[in-house]
């Protein structure tokens, strides 16, 4: 798999794909996209990098074990889910939205943080699975 | 906070399972956090129970979307009672897990997954949306797959594969049934379905979806002829895991059957006959299975099947007396079956085996423990005034009044078989002299444990026995509660009105 074309392409593709995954994540509230798809795209970026540069290189790029992203993601999603109970006495998972939209990102609400949590969990889970399998092969 | 009281059990379990994930490598801390978490969940469950008991059915519309459109959580008496029982069983099992499950298993996030399992169970009891029920079932089976295969011993994986295959199949059938039902009525809110299904002209399709639900939930609750995965898999994981599976996983199938067949498909003569036949065969095959087994864990497993038949039979009768019996039996059964498997784990720790042929002399060596274990065993048989006695009276009476003599016979047969098997078990395990077998040297026996460790082994059993005793001696309260639940179930307008706010 380690052809020169793939190797030089992947060094550009990793940041581009990661940026694209964030785009998909933010786009997700009213248009196709969201945390799950964004997370998959981001994990594909890392898998492609591990194909061309080897698993150890990718792990050193990631710095932490991808499994640790799962509890963080779950915690963010959980907090965004219970935030209506804590802050405004509304039922679980009610969307709370900020008054003014922020440029580029758009309107910020608790749903965005839920999606962010999903994004992290998906990256963590899929990378853990793929890395474990490719290590044992 | 009181607006959200009935979903707090879910929030608590989710919070603790995430917290336990952060403590991935600190196993000793995980044990304490999990026990604290279950204690908190127990307090919250009691709070929710008292709240609903005083104020009637409470509905939370998640996401603040009004009822037929969003997902609702409905805390009626049945749901909060089951949440309370889950919390009691979960509390006992978490303490038992802390001491009995080995480190090699705990290292892979045992406690975190355990909380996810309890989360799924609570969610399944509380949800008022049938697709959401499917999602909770998925959470339950995924976490139970992890718990059943964690540790990766050979026979354990064999059991896990059977368990996985059949339960996955059941989920598929459940999903198909959902698809058919949604195509017919165009809504997923159970209260809304209940109103709209009466107007559907295509009754054949309605019946087909009902049968699909019956098969899907039937596999999960292990009724005849769909129970074969249960004896193949439940004895393989550690006792603590078997206990929570035995106490709650099959019962969630029974709960789903009760909910669906009282709320959506109430009064259908074809289904009544089908349920009745299945119940009779379940009692018969479970009983016969129990009598030929020599391993006490396997005996208890066949008892699960046998006693599921009691509940399904009561459901098939569909009278208020029978339904009260079913609910009482469900309350009794969750506590007692959890306790039986914890006792199996305790006996294993004392004697390194659960084979009746190799066991013996327990009463001579451990008289106090034996007397403690006698109480759940006798309650299982239904010796008055212990807890098994009261629901059986209601069920037998109801079947006699409804002139369903086959079920009447099967109930008596099931009780008799239970008596015979428990008598045999008592004689073999507790009274017989210890046969001469070579005990393995490399094993930490119960006698070698420190006092605190012994206490953590015995406390869960004693705690659940105490609850059983309360159910037996406080039968008046439980009977009142069961009757109230039965009335709510039989008059499903109360549920529908509460959900749709009519």
Task: Report ipTM (2 d.p.).
Answer: 0.91
State how far the Cα of B113 lies from the Cα of B396, in Å rounded to an integer: 40
A87 touches B: beta carbon within 8 Å: no
Say whether A97 sits in a helix, a strand or coil: strand
CA-CA-CA-CA torsion for B96, B159, B245, B217, nearest 10 degrees?
170
CA B462 to chain centre: 19
What are the helix (H) ranges across B56-153? 77-100, 103-106, 110-126, 130-149
Closest by Cβ to A70, choosing from B1, B21, B61: B21
B430 closest CA partner among B364, B334, B355, B502:
B364
DSSP assignments along A12-65, one per residue: HHHHHHHHHHHHHHHHTTTSS--HHHHHHHHHHHHHHHHHHH-HHHHHHHH-S-
**Chain A positions in Cβ-Cβ contact with residue B7 (cut-off 8 Å):** 91-92
State how far the Cα of B122 lies from the Cα of B247, in Å rounded to an integer: 14
pLDDT score at B15: 95
- Kindly indicate the confidence band of residue A71, based on its pLDDT and cuts at 50, 70 and 90: very high
Closest by Cβ to B3, choosing from A75, A78, A89: A89
B208 touches A: beta carbon within 8 Å: no
Smallest CA–CA distance, residue A84 to chain B, in Å, is 9
pLDDT score at A58: 87
Residue in chain B nearest A80 by alpha carbon: B63
The model's pTM: 0.94
Residues contacting B453, CB < 8 A, separation 6+: B99
B172 touches A: beta carbon within 8 Å: no
CA-CA-CA-CA torsion for B10, B16, B20, B21, nearest 10 degrees?
50
State how far the Cα of B26 lies from the Cα of B106, in Å rounded to an integer: 10
Smallest CA–CA distance, residue A83 to chain B, in Å, is 11
For chain B, 502 residues long, give each residue's pLDDT as a single digit of tens: 567 888 999 999 999 999 999 998 888 999 999 999 999 999 999 999 999 999 989 999 888 888 888 899 999 999 999 999 999 999 999 999 998 888 888 888 899 999 999 999 999 999 999 999 999 999 999 999 999 888 777 888 888 888 889 999 999 999 999 999 999 999 999 999 999 988 888 888 998 999 999 999 999 998 888 888 888 888 888 889 999 999 899 899 999 999 999 998 877 778 888 999 999 999 999 999 999 988 898 999 999 999 999 999 999 988 899 999 999 999 999 999 999 999 999 999 888 888 888 888 888 889 999 999 999 999 999 888 888 899 999 999 999 998 889 999 999 999 999 999 999 999 989 888 888 877 787 788 888 888 888 888 899 999 999 999 999 999 999 999 999 999 999 998 889 999 998 7
- Kindly indicate the confidence band of residue A1, based on its pLDDT and cuts at 50, 70 and 90: low
pLDDT score at B54: 93
**Helix or strand (DSSP H, E) at B72:** strand B72-75
Q: How would you classify the pairing of strands B58-61 and B72-75? A: antiparallel
Residue in chain B nearest A90 by alpha carbon: B64
B267 closest CA partner among B207, B178, B347:
B207
Residue in chain A nearest B61 by alpha carbon: A91
User: How does pLDDT run across A42-64, given as a tens digit for each residue?
Assistant: 999 999 999 888 888 888 888 88
pLDDT score at B20: 94
**Chain A positions in Cβ-Cβ contact with residue B14 (cut-off 8 Å):** 78
pLDDT score at B1: 58
User: How does pLDDT run across B271-305, given as a tens digit for each residue?
Assistant: 888 999 999 999 999 999 999 988 898 999 999 99
Residue matched to tokens 């996401």: B63
In eight-state DSSP terms, residue B433 is: P
Does A104 have pLDDT greater than 80?
no
């Amino acid at each position: 798999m380690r052809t020169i074309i793939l190797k030089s392409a992947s060094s550009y593709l990793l940041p581009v794909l990661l940026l694209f995954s964030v785009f998909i994540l933010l786009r997700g509230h009213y248009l196709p996209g969201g945390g799950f798809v964004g997370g998959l795209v981001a994990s594909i970026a890392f898998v492609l990098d591990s194909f061309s540069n080897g698993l150890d290189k990718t792990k050193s790029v990631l710095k932490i074990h991808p499994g640790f992203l799962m509890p963080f993601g779950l915690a963010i999603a959980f907090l965004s889910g219970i935030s209506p109970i804590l802050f405004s006495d509304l039922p679980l998972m009610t969307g709370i939205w900020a008054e003014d939209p922020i440029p580029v990102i758009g309107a910020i609400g608790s749903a965005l943080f839920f999606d962010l949590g999903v994004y992290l969990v998906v990256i963590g889970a899929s990378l853990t699975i793929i890395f474990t399998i490719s290590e044992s092969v | 906070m009181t607006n959200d009281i009935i979903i707090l059990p879910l929030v608590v379990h989710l919070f603790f399972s995430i917290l336990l994930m952060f403590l991935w490598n600190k196993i000793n801390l995980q044990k304490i956090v999990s026990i604290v978490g279950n204690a908190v969940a127990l307090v919250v469950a009691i709070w929710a129970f008292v709240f609903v008991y005083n104020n009637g059915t409470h509905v939370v519309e998640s996401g603040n979307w009004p009822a037929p459109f969003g997902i609702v959580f409905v805390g009626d008496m049945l749901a909060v009672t089951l949440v309370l029982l889950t919390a009691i069983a979960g509390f006992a099992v978490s303490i038992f897990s802390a001491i009995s499950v080995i480190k090699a298993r705990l290292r892979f996030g045992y406690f975190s997954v355990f909380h996810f399992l309890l989360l799924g169970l609570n969610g399944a009891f509380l949800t008022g949306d049938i697709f959401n029920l499917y999602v909770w079932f998925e959470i339950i089976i995924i976490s139970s797959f992890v718990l059943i295969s964690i540790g990766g011993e050979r026979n354990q994986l064999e059991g896990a594969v059977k368990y996985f295959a059949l339960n996955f199949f059941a989920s598929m059938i459940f999903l198909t049934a959902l698809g058919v039902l949604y195509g017919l009525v165009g809504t997923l809110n159970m209260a809304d379905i209940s109103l709209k299904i009466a107007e559907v002209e295509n009754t054949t399709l309605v019946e087909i979806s009902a049968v699909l639900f019956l098969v899907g939930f039937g596999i999960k609750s292990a009724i005849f002829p769909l129970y074969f995965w249960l004896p193949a898999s439940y004895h393989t994981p550690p006792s603590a895991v078997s206990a929570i599976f035995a106490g709650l996983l099959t019962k969630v199938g029974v709960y789903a059957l009760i909910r669906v067949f009282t709320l959506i498909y109430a009064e259908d003569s074809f289904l009544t006959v089908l349920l009745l036949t299945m119940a009779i065969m379940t009692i018969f095959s479970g009983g016969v299975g129990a009598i030929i087994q020599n391993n006490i864990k396997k005996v208890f497993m066949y008892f699960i099947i046998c006693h599921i038949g009691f509940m399904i039979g009561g459901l098939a009768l569909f009278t208020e007396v029978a339904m009260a019996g079913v609910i009482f039996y469900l309350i009794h059964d969750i506590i007692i079956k959890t306790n039986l498997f914890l006792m199996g784990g305790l006996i294993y720790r004392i004697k390194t085996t659960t084979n009746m042929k190799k066991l013996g002399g327990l009463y001579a060596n451990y008289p106090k423990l034996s007397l403690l274990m006698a109480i759940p065993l006798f309650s299982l048989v239904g010796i008055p005034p212990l807890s098994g006695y009261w629901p059986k009276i209601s069920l037998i009476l109801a079947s006699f009044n409804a002139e369903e003599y086959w079920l009447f016979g099967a109930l008596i047969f099931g009780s008799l078989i239970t008596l015979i098997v428990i008598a045999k078990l008592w004689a073999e395990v507790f009274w017989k002299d210890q046969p001469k077998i070579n005990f393995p040297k490399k094993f930490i026996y119960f006698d070698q444990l420190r006092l605190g460790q012994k206490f953590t082994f015995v406390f869960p059993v004693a705690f659940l026995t105490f609850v059983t005793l309360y159910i037996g001696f406080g039968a008046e309260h439980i009977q009142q509660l069961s009757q109230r639940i039965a009335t709510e179930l039989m008059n499903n307008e109360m549920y529908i009105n509460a959900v749709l706010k009519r």
